[in-house]
Structure 1
Amino acid sequence: MESTEVESDILRRVRTLLRELDGHHPSCQHDRGMLRWTLHKKIDQNPSSSSILVRILVKELERAERGDFRHYIIPLLHTLMYTLIKAPCISDELCSRVYDFCKKLLTLPKPFCTIGLDYAVRLKMERAAPGMLYQRMVISEQSLKSNPYPYQEKIFIFADPELLSEAICNALVTDTRAAQLSQSPRVCMCYVIIHAMQAALGEGCDLSGLRMSLQDMPMSEVEHWFQQVVAAVECAGSEASVDREQHVERLEKIYCALLGSLPPGDAPLGRLQDIPLPNPNISFHLWKEDDQLWKELVLFIRPLSQSCEPDRLSQDLDNFEIQDIISECECCEQTRFSVLSTDSGIERDLPLAAEEPFAPCSADTEQSRLQRKGGIKKKPSPLESMAFLQAGCNGPGAKPAAKPQKRTGVPAKPPAPLQRLHTARVVLLGDDRLLGRLAQAYHSLRKRETRRVFLTPRLNLQFYYIPVVTGQRSAPTAATHAAAGPEELCEVAGYLGRADPWYESNINTLCHMIPKLATMPSSPSKHLVTDLFITDVIAYYVRMGAQPVCFQVYAVKVFFNDPALEPAEDVFLTELCAQVQESISHRELSLTKKKTTLEGPGIDLAVTYKKVVVSERAKEVSVSLRSTGLVMKAIPADEAEDLLCLNVNVTEIIKINNLSGRSFSAVANRLKTRDIKIRSTEQRPFTVCLDKDSRRTYRNVISVEVSPCLEPSYCLQKTRTMKSSVHEAEDVGLVKYMPKSLLLPINTFAGVIQ
């Protein structure tokens, strides 16, 4: 009877979740996003009901596949997989049903087939080695040392202190710190051991005895048994010849060794118990410096505590840089001297050969063939030093600190390929203005990686976005849409919510919920809600949101009316707004007033753009018009529109002659383009604001050029190819296989559902 009531309650909760996706549940609009969280918390309180929830979700998935409910599939599948990862024990029969359903998704278009394939691969490993998904998630998120699975993950939350209130920032800092206090490496290792035993042995596992045995062990023994369990689970998941029964036998031996005095089979039986899934490693950062993102990523791969000694950084930097400069020719095998040049150009001033002889390389000079003599040394900062970066590459495929001497008859050992053992999950909290800063930082990072590759082959970089809108703290201007509502400042979030209903239900609801929870009065219940809900939702988002939506980054070149000023180059992601500049000199103002009475408000503009047509054939159009301003939107209002296209809305002033006199009317023109040039023909300046951010406003602008931002690595390879090829107009060789445009990927649960 009790089981029937539990099943009815879970079924009711799942059906309510599906009605929320249809938008047919207006009474719970203020609680959207809480339904999924309360469902998982209900299962955590009663772990034995995990199988009931999985069985119900499988039935709903099969029903959604048969009927016209395809938009249910991805939310139900994410809910099911999250339940499987956290569940203490799931039967092989249920896993087999989920696995068969995921294989059916391979016949559907993206993103269904992509998600189905990913989950099918995971389920195949989980069936062979129960508890493997939980184990890998805890090891990577907690950065536990493990040779069989050496991957590490970290969540970086970035917020702009100029855009979020101090109360929200303080609340988020408090919550992220509190999430880390309840866990330690020892506790997480014990969780992995206990979960693996319960997943394999089921209700026959004596959890109380296992916990007591681990609690009395010293840390070294806990680490030993943790490594044993990890090796057994990874071995079963990777080897095709190992079946589920062999895996259970291996863990039974470890289980008996852990319990010690208890003989096999005499352990008391009990119900399944919940083993918590620890909160991931989260750090909160106030984005105050432009290159702060790059610095945090470098420190994640190579912490400062493991860096070189500061006194040796300069010398190590010299040794490191020269390895990329010295070629393999025989003349480079000799020791060189880098000196401050005092050559006068007169032959008699040159030193005699006997004064500075060149000695061949020996064992003493093997580690440093370039020696600085009499030069001026600049002591670099530890973070900017390339020796600091290189010192962090001690893992597989690491480049040695110095180039070994080439010996005759000894073949050179090829370097091992680099592995992306680190995953940085960058979560942005804010509105479109913060995403504009992210586009700038991402473009800068890609340019830095083009000059000297370091992060790209070693780091898997993922971006996530949670919209949060509060009263802006900076002084508003007309160009920043200060009077606009949250919808205007969160166009990216609106687009992602329309494209992915599960993102709309779980993430977009945080836009108003985070400020509300942050301003609640301090109370035990308040801390309970924020610690659990906000942290859990962020963790759920980064764990299950793996489908990127790629946004085009646009390059901007701004020309000023002062010829002495160099053109400024920048990028934007969401919007460019241009308006007639009001503050001009008195002389210009008097001339402008006379001309305005004749020509009307606004300024004369020459607009040249490439028209976007269905046939994809570029057609260049040039027009002259009088306008008071224009807005370029890179985010479409409808998810069905092309995401790689600019919608330019120009306010054109039309002169009308009638019997009562001359009048003017404003007409809205809309252009669709990817490249556009705008120039003021009467030399009157205008202002340009990027991504609705008043801090990114350019004044006294006379001309502006906008085009899709090119990938820096593509530009470099294109330049190299053009030097050796006569085909300058077309991509040849390696260039045609490289991504041309710079796209900013933001992860959601489903991507764009067609």
Structure 2
Amino acid sequence: MENTEAESDILRSVHALLRELDGHHPAFQNERGMLRWTLHKKTDRNPGNSTILAKILVKELERAERGDYRHYIIPLLHTLMYTLIKAPCFSDDLYGRIYDFCKKLLTLPKPYCTIGLDYACRLKTERVAPGVLYQRMVISEQSLRSDPYPYQEKVFIFADPDLLSKAVCNALVTDTKAAQMYQSPRSCMCYVIMHAMQVALEDDCDTYSLQRILQDKPTEEIEHFFRQVVTAVECTGNEINADRSQHVERLKKVYDVVLSSSEAGDTSPEGLQDIPLPNPNISFHLWTDEDQLWKELVLFVRPLSQTCEQDCLSQELDNFEIQDIVTGCECCEQTRFSVLSNDSGIERDLPPVGEEPPPHCSAEVEHSRLQRKGGIKKKGSPLEAMAYLQASCNGPGVKHSGKMHTKSGSNMESMSSLQRLHTARIVVLGDDRILGRLAQAFHSLRKRETRRVFLTPRLNLQFYYIPVVEGQQSTWPTEEHAMPSQIQLCEVAGYLGRADPWYENNINTLCHMIPKLATMPSSPSKHLVTNTFIIDVMSYYIRMGIQPVCFQVYSVKIVFSDIAREPTEDVFVTELSVKVQDYNPTRDLVLARKKTMLEGPGADITAKYRKVLLSSRGKELGVSLRSTGLVMKAIPPDEAEDLLCLNVYITEVIKTSNLSGRSFSFMTNKIRMHSIKVSSMDQKTFTLCLDKDFRRIYRNVVSVEVSPCLEPSYCLQKTRTMQFSLHGSEDVGLAKYMPKSLLLPINTFAGIIQ
């Protein structure tokens, strides 16, 4: 009877989830995203409901596949896999149904086939070695020491204090610390042991007694049992033709040893026990330093405990300081000093004791020989650095070759032995302006890695974006720039929500919910809601958001009216706005005013651009007109449009003459283009604003050139090859296998669903 009631309750929750995907909950728009969270909480409170939920989800998936309701498939599949990872046990028939469904997705286009293949591979391993997905997730997220699975992950949350209020920042810090309070390495190792035993042994496992015994054990013994369990599970998961019965036998031996080491206790309650899945290791950072992201990543890969002293690490960080990328890019040109040794190293060749050196070894001869002055560390080959960078580029447009380019004398074996054991998951909180800062930091990081490869061969970088907008925003420093509305401030979030409905329901709902929960009156119930909900949703997004949406980063070259001022280069990822500054000449003020009245507002500008055609080919065009400004948007209004082009809106001033005199009207022209160069034809200058950020305003600009930002490693490699290329071709050598454009990947649940 209880199972029937539980099944009916879960079925209603799943159907409510599907109606939410269809947008049929207009009265509960403020509570969107809560349905998925409450559904998983039901299985956490009663682990026996996991099997019921999995069966219902499989039925709904099969029904969606037959009825061509594709927008249900990815949300239901993510919900099912998250349930499977946390579930205490599944039947072999249920594993088979889920596996068969994932194989059917291979016939569908992306992202269905990509997600289906990934989950099919995970299910195949989990079916033979139950609990391996849970174990790997806890080990990597908590950075537990494990030789069979040495991977480590860490979540870095970055919030801009200029964009979020102090109350929101303090609330996020409090929630992050509260989530880590009960996640000690000892408790996480106990979770891994208990989950592996319960999943493999099922009814033969007394989880209650196992938990009681482990609590009384010293940490050294828990570590010993933890290593045995991890070795047993990983051994089965890595075998080609693994036998599940052997896996159960291995864990049964460890289980018997643990229980035999303690006296029999009270009678244990029957049924499955709840074994929590701890939240990832999260660190919260206020983004105050431009190089803060890079420094935190370096400390994650090379923590202070691995260095002799903190000064050593500081010196190492100083050595990584990037210089301007020069066109030469020659290797170290210092003169190498050496010494000519006359010692063969054989003992019998040594002169007798007391005997003088041969007469030819005079001071003049010694002076003429090579001298050694201090050791110089060997710098890695440029090809080795490019191989590292090439391996790190997995975004769209990457070309792979079956050949491996090598250089005589280079140690390619040592390169292949390096593995990326660290994964950094960067979560940024805010609006489009913090994405602009992220693009700047990412571009700077890629430039550093081009000059001195350090993080690329060791670290996987994953980017996540959670929009947060508060009611009260700061204003622009001048009246000529009006503060954009909240909808304009979250263009990227809106685009991702339209492309991925599951992102819209789970992540975009946090945009106003986080400030609302942070400003609630302090009470025990308030902390209970925030500590569980916000961190749980972030954890779910980090774990299941595996499909990136790549945004083009654009490079901006700015020329100022002051000739003595050097041109500036910057990048943006969402928007660049150009406005004509008011011209106030010091002389002939009356004549200037009359001229302005005749010519109208704005300034005469020239624009040379490369237009995007339907054939995806570019066409070079130019135009001269009078304009008050223009806006370049990199985020298209429709998810079906190409992300790799600019939508430029130019406000043109149109003069009309009639009997009453001259009048002026305004017309907005929209052009899709790859690149553009805008110059002022008169003495008026421009004001530029990048990514809607009032802290990134440039004044007194006479020319601005915008083009897709090139990958720094591609630029360096192209420069090297051009020096030795006889034909002058750009894409030769390793350059033709590397991506040209710098793309900023933001992870979502499904990517872009066509």
Give the structure-2-normalised TM-score. 0.87
CA contact (8 A) 1:611 1:620 kept: yes
Provide closer, same or farther for how the CA distance between residues 747 and 207 of structure 1 changes in structure 2, counting only shifts above 3 A. Answer: same
> 1:45 aligns to what?
45
> Using the alignment, how far apart are the partners of 2:62 and 2:586 within structure 1?
74
| Whole-angstrom CA distance in 2 between matches of 1:575 and 1:486 | 15
Amino acid at match of 2:301: I
Question: Residue 375 of structure 2 corresponds to which residue in structure 1?
Answer: 369
Which residue of structure 2 aligns with residue 579 of structure 1? 579
Residue 308 of structure 1: CA displacement? 3.0
SS at match of 1:456: coil
Q: How do 1:530-609 residues align onto structure 2 when only pairs under 5 Å count?
A: 530-582=530-582, 584-587=584-587, 590-609=590-609
- Aligned partners of 2:14, 2:303: CA distance in 1, in Å? 44
After superposition, give the CA deviation of every residue in 1:468-498 in whole Å (9 maximum; x if it has no partner): 012234644456541x321100000000000
1:396 maps to: none
Report what 2:153 is aligned to.
153
CA distance in 2, matches of 1:537, 1:352: 77
With over 3 angstroms needed to count, the CA separation of the structure-2 counterparts of 1:369 and 1:250, relative to structure 1, is same
The answer on whether the counterparts of 2:675 and 2:708 sit within 8 Å (CA) in structure 1 is yes
Aligned partners of 2:718 and 2:730 also within 8 Å: no
1:391-412: per-residue Cα shift (whole Å, max 9, x none)?
xxxxxxxxxxxxxxxxxxx999
What is the Cα deviation at residue 242 of structure 1? 2.1
Distance (Å, rounded) in 2 between the aligned partners of 1:589 and 1:495? 48
* 2:112 is the alignment partner of 1:112: yes
In structure 2, the residue corresponding to 1:667 is in which secondary structure? strand
Q: Is the 8 A contact 2:304 2:313 kept in 1?
A: no
**Are residue 493 (structure 1) and residue 493 (structure 2) matched?**
yes
Contact 2:141–2:153 under 8 Å retained in 1? yes
Question: How far apart are the structure 2 equivalents of 1:6 and 1:294?
Answer: 49
Structure 2 Cα separation of the partners of residues 316 and 743 of structure 1: 28
Could you tell me whether the CA contact under 8 Å between 1:162 and 1:474 is conserved in 2? no
Mapping for residues 134-153 of structure 1, pairs under 5 Å: 134-153=134-153
Structure 2 CA distance for partners of 1:413 and 1:653, relative to 1, 3 Å: closer
Shift of residue 659, structure 1, vs aligned partner: 2.2
Contact 1:498 1:504 in 2 (8 A): yes
**Matches of 1:557 and 1:318 in 2, distance apart?**
28
Write the letter of the residue equivalent to 2:126: E
- Map of 1:33 onto structure 2: 33
Aligned to 2:473: 472
Q: What SS does the corresponding residue of 1:251 show, helix, strand or coil?
A: helix
In the aligned structure 2, how far is the partner of 1:690 from the partner of 1:317?
30
Written as runs of structure 1 = structure 2, the 5 A alignment for 1:413-424 is 414-415=413-414, 417-424=417-424
Identify if the C-alpha distance between structure 1 residues 196 and 12 changes in structure 2 by more than 3 Å, giving closer, same or farther: same
Deviations 1:541-564 (A, max 9, x none): 000001000000000000111111
Q: Is the 8 A contact 1:581 1:687 kept in 2?
A: yes
Q: 1:639 to 1:230 in 2, by over 3 A?
A: same
Aligned to 1:242: 242
Give the aligned partner of residue 357 of structure 2: none
Give the equivalent residue in structure 1 for 2:728: 728
2:610 equivalent in structure 1: 610
How do 1:70-149 and structure 2 match up within 5 A? Answer: 70-149=70-149
CA contact (8 A) 1:552 1:742 kept: yes
Contact kept, 8 Å, 2:340 with 2:370, in 1: the verdict is: yes
CA distance in 2: counterparts of 1:411 and 1:695, whole angstroms = 46
Matches of 2:688 and 2:73, distance apart in 1: 44
Mapping of 1:90-489 within 5 angstroms?
90-260=90-260, 270-309=270-309, 354=366, 358=370, 369-370=375-376, 414-415=413-414, 417-470=417-470, 471-473=472-474, 475-477=476-478, 481-482=482-483, 484-489=484-489
Q: Which amino acid aligns with 2:679?
A: R
Count of residue correspondences = 692
- Superposed CA offset, 1:569-588 (max 9, x none): 00000000001113744438
Q: 1:569 to 1:167 in 2, by over 3 A?
A: same
Q: CA deviation at 1:96?
A: 1.3
Q: Distance in 1 between matches of 2:151 and 2:592?
A: 65
Cα pair 1:480 1:689 within 8 Å, conserved: no
Aligned 8 A contact 2:58 2:98 in 1 = yes
Equivalent pair of 1:650/1:668 in contact (CA under 8 Å): yes
Distance 1:630 1:48 in 2: 60
Runs of 5+ in structure 2 lacking a partner? Answer: 322-329, 342-362, 378-408
State percent identity of aligned pairs: 70
Question: Which amino acid is 1:176 matched to?
Answer: T
Task: Give the alignment's Cα RMSD to 1 decimal.
Answer: 2.8
1:394: which partner in 2?
A: none
Residue 664 of structure 2 corresponds to which residue in structure 1?
A: 664
What does residue 522 of structure 2 align with? 522
Report Cα offsets for 1:407-460 as digits up to 9, x if no partner.
xxx999942521000000000000000000010010000000000111011000
Q: Distance in 2 between matches of 1:301 and 1:510?
A: 31
Q: 1:204·1:267 contact (CA, 8 Å) conserved in 2?
A: no
In structure 1, what is the Cα distance between the partners aligned to 2:124 and 2:655? 70
C-alpha separation in 1, matches of 2:491 and 2:589: 37
d(CA) in 2 for partners of 1:39 and 1:315? Answer: 51
542-551 vs 613-622, greater mean Cα deviation: 613-622
Does the 8 A contact of 2:320 with 2:452 survive in 1?
A: no
Structure 2: distance between partners of 1:691 and 1:97:
47
**Cα distance in 1, alignment partners of residues 511 and 314 from structure 2:** 47
Contact 1:632 1:648 in 2 (8 A): yes
Residue aligning to 2:358: none
SS in 1 for 2:514: helix
Supply the distance in 2 between the matched residues of 1:411 and 1:676 (Cα, whole angstroms): 42
Q: Would you say the 8 A contact 1:480–1:692 is kept in 2?
A: no
1:352, distance to aligned residue in structure 2 (A): 6.4
Q: Distance in 2 between matches of 1:666 and 1:703?
A: 23
- What residue number does 1:640 align with? 640
Check conservation: 1:87, 1:274, Cα contact below 8 A: no
Return closer, same or farther for 1:458/1:267 CA change in 2, 3 Å cut-off: farther
Q: Distance in 2 between matches of 1:624 and 1:434?
A: 35
The one-letter amino acid paired with 2:566 is: E
Work out the CA distance in 2 between the residues paired with 1:572 and 1:606: 22
Distance 1:58 1:480, change over 3 A: farther
Q: How does 1:622-701 map to 2 (within 5 A)?
A: 622-701=622-701
**Which range moves more in the overlay, 618-627 or 507-516?**
618-627
TM superposition shift of 1:637 = 0.2
Quote how far apart the aligned CAs of 1:138 are.
0.3
* 8 Å Cα contact 1:163/1:474 also seen in 2: no
Matched letter for residue 437 of structure 1? R
Residues 582-636 of structure 1: CA deviation (Å, up to 9, x unaligned): 3744438655422211111110001110111012332111111001111000000
Q: Is the 8 A contact 2:188 2:278 kept in 1?
A: yes
The corresponding residue for 2:400 is none
What are the Cα deviations for residues 681-704 of structure 1, in whole angstroms up to 9, with x where unaligned?
002111000000011000000010
Query: What is the Cα deviation at residue 268 of structure 1?
Result: 6.0
Residue 343 (structure 1) aligns with: none
Distance 1:413 1:689, change over 3 A: closer
- Paired with 1:734 and 1:244, the residues of 2 have a C-alpha distance of 46
Q: Residues 189 and 222 of structure 1 are in contact (CA less than 8 Å); yes or no, is this contact kept in structure 2?
A: yes
Q: Distance in 2 between matches of 1:602 and 1:315?
A: 52
Paired with 1:315 and 1:510, the residues of 2 have a C-alpha distance of 41
CA spacing shift, 1:66–1:316, aligned 2, 3 Å: closer
Question: TM-score normalised to the size of structure 1?
Answer: 0.87
The answer to whether the 8 Å contact 1:479/1:692 transfers is no
Find the aligned partners of 2:589 and 2:91 in 1 and give their Cα distance.
80
Task: Tell me what 1:741 maps to.
Answer: 741
Once the two structures are superposed, what CA deviation does each residue of 1:253-309 show, in whole Å capped at 9, x if it has no partner?
111111006899x99672011100011100000000111100000011111233233
Q: SS of the residue aligned with 1:72?
A: helix
Superposed displacement of residue 356, structure 1: 9.1
In 2: Cα distance, 1:316 partner to 1:353 partner: 40
